[in-house]
Every structure is written in C-alpha cells, then in structure tokens.
Structure 1
C-alpha cells in the first residue's frame, strides 16, 4: 500500500491534496465548515475573509474561505488514528475560535444559522465563486442559503475504487445523515426538520445520491454535466458520495457539521469501518445493492426530517424502521471494519453516547426549550464547538 501523505484535504477554491491507504488501514480526513456570528447578537457576520487571512499564518492550507463570507472551512491532515484526528480537529477549532474572537466574532458549528442575518449573505470574492453566483442568483440572494457540512474523506487507490465503494455505500448514507442532523433552526424558527441544511443544500444542482457508476460511466456523465452547462465544473458534482477530482479519496458529503466532536469522530469511524468492510466484499466480487432511486430519496428525506427521533427507511430492504434501529444496523454492518482498524470499542462507546443525547438537532432544541431564546441555542453551540 502507499504510504500516508501529510498534506491537508481542504476543498473550496484552494488546493485539495492527497489521502492514501496507510500501513494500518484506510486513512481518513475531515473538512468542517463553520459559521461566524456576532459575539453580541448571534447573527452571521461577513468576516470570513479576514479570519481566513489571519489564521493562514498558523494553519496554512488547512484553513480556507467558503462560498459565503460568513463562513470558513478547516481541514485535517490524513491520519490512520482517530485519537490523532480528534486532537487535530480540536486544535483547528481552537485556533479558528481564537482568530474569530480577535475579529470580533464567534465560531459556530451548525448546519444552518440559528438566527438569520439582517440582510442577504454576501459571496466571498473570487473568480469561481463569482461565476457560480452569476449563474445561480436565486440560490445566492436568499437568507437561508448558508449551510455548513462535515465532509469525511477515505483514502482509496483511485476513481475506480472510490466509485465501487460509493456504489456499495448508497443504502447506508441516509443513516449517517440522520446521525449527523444538526440544523433544526432556520430563519429564526424551528423548521420542523432535524437537518434543514439537507433541504437548503439540495437546491443546488449536483446535490443528491450518487448514481451507480463505473469509472467509464463516471467520466461520460461528468463530461456531459459540464458540457451541457448543468454544472459549472466537475467540482460541482456534489453527490453524497463522490470521488475527488484531485486526489485519491472517496468523499462523503451527506453530514451536517456538528459542534460535538464525539459526533464527528463517530461518523468518521463508521465511514471508515463501513468502507473497510465493503472493500473486502468488493474484492470478492460481490455486486453492490441496487435500491430503487425513489426509495433512496425517501430515505434521505426521512433522515433529514427526523434525524434520530423518528421513523426512517431502509432503502435496501424497502422497509420503514425507526431511525435508532437503522443506526444499530449500521454499527453492526461496519463492525468488521471497525475491528480491523482497532476502532470498535471506541465506536461503540461514542455510538451509545450520541444516541443517548439524541444528536445535535435534539441538543439545539433542548437549549431553546429552556427559555425560548435563540441566543441560548447559539451560546450552547459556541461553547460546544470550542470545547473540542
């Protein structure tokens, strides 16, 4: 296997550099997108470019600008160890939180703004972002367009392996989405969704479940989407599981960013465990599951609606099941891969901890319920984001 490289995995308009398969199994990396909010009002503030510029001295390419100027992004280096991953995520959050404070704002890990901005958000200056804003102006001028995700990368050997994994992982991604749900508030009210980010993000072209493809099929479809103008470029292929265009990774893009690092670590462990288990089956020639596209969309919609709190759908079996039961199935499915990486005990501990809390959406709603104040929700998110 290839040795592990040490460059970060950031996307955006910056460079995206390689993950690989290390001696101890699949390497992983995480990208986290954050909101910047005013320290007094909790409203999003357009200070991203200044925060990124100030943080670059310490973090280099591990900090990037995001599409809206009230957002920033950080990315880890690839690692084979979850303890190292957690330490790096905590350090990145601390540095960014300190820099944000020096710029008069606070760092918040939430999928959507709890309190809406007073005016439509501004787009971060840049040639590519400018072209995107010009082509899809209706998606840019809305108050609820700012969304923040957590993207998990798994090192692969190339596009062929990434696509094979994506094909086999399709039925499990709604359950990951439910575990990660952390955006119940939008436009200053409870939206009724556990992951409102999923709804708003899906307004962009290129967002959704990945179609089952081999490498040749991917190349044809990617070329078609760009040539016909459906997408600006291949980087706008925002499928829930996609091969990187720049480095050998499979990127899982279905998760909300979460303030609680336990959730981030659990999601990463499950993604790697599932990928490890599935690679063995792919090597044995087992065909991928092929759930109907309609069922897959329903499963993602239920995950976004309820998170861990209600009913979900197992698209592979075509049966409605409580979301908590689906998370148990996912843990069992990933267990061989978790054990191979030495992560099973930690994953089980984190799994029960996250399930007991109800996840990010439940925590946000509980913070609001105490006094009915949205600023309390923001305050809890700020504290949890910084606690890393």
Structure 2
C-alpha cells in the first residue's frame, strides 16, 4: 500500500455517519402490510424530497439521513424523517412500522414495486420473490468518507465484529403470523438473495474481479445487487454496513450507528499500522451470524476469532471495548454507555415484541405497540 493511503486512514479520526431505515406500511384496521408505498411517498415528498424512497416490495418505504458527525444531529434527523413519513402514512390509513418482518402477514402476496430495476430483479431471482414473508426491513449504516480501496480494507477488519452488531439489533421474531424461533427472521429471509452474507477478504482488484464474475455469471443482476453485510457503497463514498434489522426504538438505531462508527475509527489504527485483517473461516462467520439471528444477545455465538462458543452479550461488550478509542474521539462514549446499558435492561426489539405478545396474546397489540414506539422521540 502507498504511504499516502495509510495517511488517509489515519486522519480524520471522526468520520461521518448516515443511516437508511426501511419501514413496513400496515393497514390501520387489519395491521397487515399493504402496497401503498407510492401513495405514502407522494404525500411525504413535498417535505422530505429525496430523503424518502421506494423499495423492492410496494409495502416498504425507506428513509435516508444526510451524513453528519453528530449523534445528536443524527437522532434529530431520524425523529423528523419518521414523524413526517408516519404522518403521510396516516393520510393513507396506514401505520409506519419499525419491524424487520411483518408481525401479521398480508392476506395476499404484496406486489413488487413497479420500477424497471425492481421488475428486472424479480425476473432474475424469481424463486426468491415471495410477497408474503419476503418483505423485510433493514437498517443500513454508512460510515464515510472512504473510497473503495479504503472501504474494502476496513470491511475485512470488520468481519469478526458484524455478528455482534447483528445480535444487538435483532427485531424480527415473527414470520407467517407465528413466532419463528428466530430473533432476526429477516436474516433468514434476506439470506435467500444471492450474495447475502459476510464480506470476503478482498483488495480493490479482487473486488472488481469478483463483482465482474458475479454479474457475468448471472449470480447478481448488477453492482447494486451485492448484498454483503459490509461493502463499499456504489452511490456514495462510504462503507455501508447492512447487517442490522430496522428497529422501532430509535435509541437502538443510534446505538448501532454509534458503535459501527466508533469501531471503524478504532480499526483504522490497524490499517495505519499495516496489520492484516483477521483470517476468519467463512464457515465460522456464517455460523456466528446464524446463531445471532436465532437468539440475539440472549444466546451463545461462536467467537469468530477463536471459534469458542461464548455469550453473545460478551461479544457485544468486547466490541464496545474495541470501539472505545473511536467513541471517545467523537465524544460519543457517555451516550453509548448509557444507550447500551438501557438496551441490555430492556432487551432487543425481538425480546420486546415477544414480551408484548406474551402479555396480551394478540399480534394486533404487538403491531400497535411497535408502531407507537416507531414514532416516539428520544
């Protein structure tokens, strides 16, 4: 690597952070997902413009914050985006739902959004398209700015930490109207798409060659269809971390974003010092992600670095320890310590959805509680 590249990784330590959140639209009366995204987006566009957009399924809408260095600003943006989008949803007799899978399934398959690229994706991956359990909602964290060379180097160092972030954000226990047995059913459903999974260890040349091969062999449709859990963004100069479920609780979203940025900042020292990324077997990484999807932070995961089965919350705490230098440099450490303590006390989004169902025995109540939490301010 050139010395200029190493210097670029050293400064500035505090990078920008941005968040994309996907939300379900559910009918206010039935609490089932409904294909009203185009109507809701038309109502939201005068205020939010390009900060809201459609997604693959016509019951899902997405918000995008602007990049910022301040967690307080990020929180304010998320509150505003959710508030305006929820208001537009109400005009179409919908609730905005921060759940990564439908709590109550639709009574008929949700159609694919009528946009050229989505229709081509549906034709290309016909076996994956399922409008009943297929609609899922993720939370994507963008850390920047990085060019592709930097982002790829950093993603290699991030690989062992991604299962812990996934476990922390789990918020999709229900599938098909029943408890799926997973804390993140979204991981299972989304994992059916080609290329979804941990990022491989690649330099820039290897990345371009791998991507060309995936496209030319028909594994993926185009460059934007690469669904690794961490990847260089194809439309902005960021590292995009795509492993998290969307969460109704805004505190959880901010916590995941802050930990991701703090961890990236801390790992930059490894890049600056020319330390190689840990060589972790893909099979072990996939096992860790599978365990994180099943149990969230309440279960055990194989430690990606050692293979030893350890409590998931222990890996989250170790991630925090590793991220401390980056969190401190950004002034985020006190907030993150408070948010993480709160998160462990209340449980993941999946824990809270299940607790609501156990109290009332009604999925409609879980939908209502989740919808209220989606638009609650911090």
Corresponding residue to 1:144 among 133, 139, 144? 133
1:239 alignment counterpart: 228
The Cα of 1:142 is off from its aligned counterpart by 4.5
In structure 1, how many angstroms separate the alpha carbons of the residues matched to 2:201 and 2:38? 38
In structure 1, how many angstroms separate the alpha carbons of the residues matched to 2:96 and 2:129? 22
Corresponding residue to 2:176 among 166, 181, 187? 187
SS in 1 for 2:53: strand
In structure 2, how many angstroms separate the alpha carbons of the residues matched to 1:382 and 1:104? 13
2:378 is equivalent to residue 371 of structure 1:
no
User: Is 1:201–1:207's contact at 8 Å kept on the other side of the alignment?
Assistant: yes
2:68 is equivalent to residue 84 of structure 1:
no
2:278 is equivalent to residue 289 of structure 1:
yes
Question: Which runs of structure 1 show a deviation greater than 4 angstroms over 4 or more consecutive aligned residues?
Answer: 20-24
2:324 alignment counterpart: 335
Give 5+ residue unaligned stretches, structure 1. 1-19
In structure 1, how many angstroms separate the alpha carbons of the residues matched to 2:108 and 2:125? 18
User: Is 1:21–1:155's contact at 8 Å kept on the other side of the alignment?
Assistant: no
In structure 1, how many angstroms separate the alpha carbons of the residues matched to 2:319 and 2:130? 38
In structure 2, how many angstroms separate the alpha carbons of the residues matched to 1:277 and 1:195? 27
Give 5+ residue unaligned stretches, structure 2. 1-8
In structure 2, how many angstroms separate the alpha carbons of the residues matched to 1:141 and 1:245? 26
Corresponding residue to 2:18 among 2, 14, 29? 29
In structure 2, how many angstroms separate the alpha carbons of the residues matched to 1:22 and 1:112? 39
1:386 alignment counterpart: 375
In structure 2, how many angstroms separate the alpha carbons of the residues matched to 1:136 and 1:324? 36
SS in 2 for 1:119: coil
1:216-255 mapped onto 2 (5 Å cutoff): 216-255=205-244
C-alpha deviations, 1:258-282, integer Å up to 9, x for none?
0001100110110000000001111
C-alpha deviations, 1:129-153, integer Å up to 9, x for none?
0101112222223410000000000
User: Is 1:270–1:334's contact at 8 Å kept on the other side of the alignment?
Assistant: yes
1:110 alignment counterpart: 99
Corresponding residue to 2:288 among 299, 302, 325? 299
C-alpha deviations, 1:67-94, integer Å up to 9, x for none?
1000100000000000000000000000
2:146 is equivalent to residue 154 of structure 1:
no
1:16 alignment counterpart: none
Corresponding residue to 1:124 among 113, 130, 148? 113
In structure 2, how many angstroms separate the alpha carbons of the residues matched to 1:366 and 1:274? 31
SS in 2 for 1:25: coil
The Cα of 1:324 is off from its aligned counterpart by 1.1
Q: CA RMSD, aligned part only?
A: 1.3
1:170-181 mapped onto 2 (5 Å cutoff): 170-181=159-170
In structure 2, how many angstroms separate the alpha carbons of the residues matched to 1:274 and 1:113? 31
After superposition, the Cα gap between the structure-2 partners of 1:95 and 1:311, relative to the gap in structure 1 and judged at 3 Å, is same
1:49-68 mapped onto 2 (5 Å cutoff): 49-68=38-57
Corresponding residue to 2:345 among 353, 356, 360? 356
SS in 2 for 1:203: coil
The Cα of 1:21 is off from its aligned counterpart by 11
1:169 alignment counterpart: 158
1:13 alignment counterpart: none
SS in 1 for 2:306: coil
User: Is 1:52–1:65's contact at 8 Å kept on the other side of the alignment?
Assistant: yes
In structure 1, how many angstroms separate the alpha carbons of the residues matched to 2:317 and 2:13? 26
SS in 2 for 1:252: strand
In structure 1, how many angstroms separate the alpha carbons of the residues matched to 2:307 and 2:145? 30
User: Is 2:14–2:326's contact at 8 Å kept on the other side of the alignment?
Assistant: no
After superposition, the Cα gap between the structure-2 partners of 1:142 and 1:103, relative to the gap in structure 1 and judged at 3 Å, is closer
Q: What's the TM-score once normalised by structure 1's chain length? A: 0.93
C-alpha deviations, 1:206-231, integer Å up to 9, x for none?
10000000001001011111111111
